[in-house]
Amino acid sequence: MKFITAVIKPFKLDEVREALSEIGVQGITVTEVKGFGRQKGHTELYRGAEYVIDFLPKVKLEVAVSEKLAKKVVEAITKSALTGKIGDGKIFVMNLDQVQRIRTGETGDDAL
């Protein structure tokens, strides 16, 4: 099993969710986050005071999938979150040791 974390542009969230549903992903977790990368921040000016805002708002989504679906998930996110401009985000793929569904006690692929 794989645990996939993606940081994307906030306005791309709906497209990414649709793309993931289409390939059979059953659920994702979404968090509003802030961070910095190569996109850099922007400056804000209030009367004479200039502030560099380093941290930009992004959306982080987390999804746990079976081994065979992992590649398709990465492809789907890459395709749907793409704008071609700097700041599109990143996808991190990690091995996942165990999953357990709390209600039924199912484990492994059955719990995904």
Partner 1 sequence: MKKLFSKLGMVGLLSFLLLGFSQIGMSNEVFDLSNGTILLADNHAAVEAPAEAVEVPALDTGDTAWMIIATILVIVMAIPGLALFYGGLVRSKNMLSVLMQVFVTFSLMSVLWVVYGYSLAFTEGPYNTWIGGLGAAFLGGISGDSISGTIPEYVFVTFQLTFAALTPALIVGGFAERIKFSGMLVFLSLWLTVVYLPICHMVWGGGLISSWGAIDFAGGTVVHINAGVAALVLAICLGKRLGYGKEVMAPHNMPMTMIGASLLWAGWFGFNVGSELAADSTAGLVMINTQVAAAAGVLGWITMEWMARGKPSMLGGASGAISGLVAITPACAAVGPMGAIVLGFIASIIAYWACTSLKKSLGYDDSLDVFGIHGVAGMVGAVSLAILMAPQFGGVGYDEGVTMMSQFVVQAKSVGFTIIWCGVISFVLFKIVDATVGLRVSEEDERAGLDTTSHGETAYHS
Instruction: Tell me which residues touch partner 1 (CB under 8 A).
Output: 44-49, 51, 53
Nearer CB in complex with partner 1: 31/100: 31
Instruction: Identify whether the C-beta of residue 59 lies closer than 8 Å to the C-beta of residue 30.
Output: yes
We find the least distance from the C-beta atom of residue 47 to partner 1, in angstroms, to be 5
Distance CA 77, CA 14 (A): 11
We find the least distance from the C-beta atom of residue 42 to partner 1, in angstroms, to be 11
Backbone phi and psi for residue 71, each to the nearest 5 degrees, phi listed first = -65, -40
Nearer CB in complex with partner 1: 48/84: 48
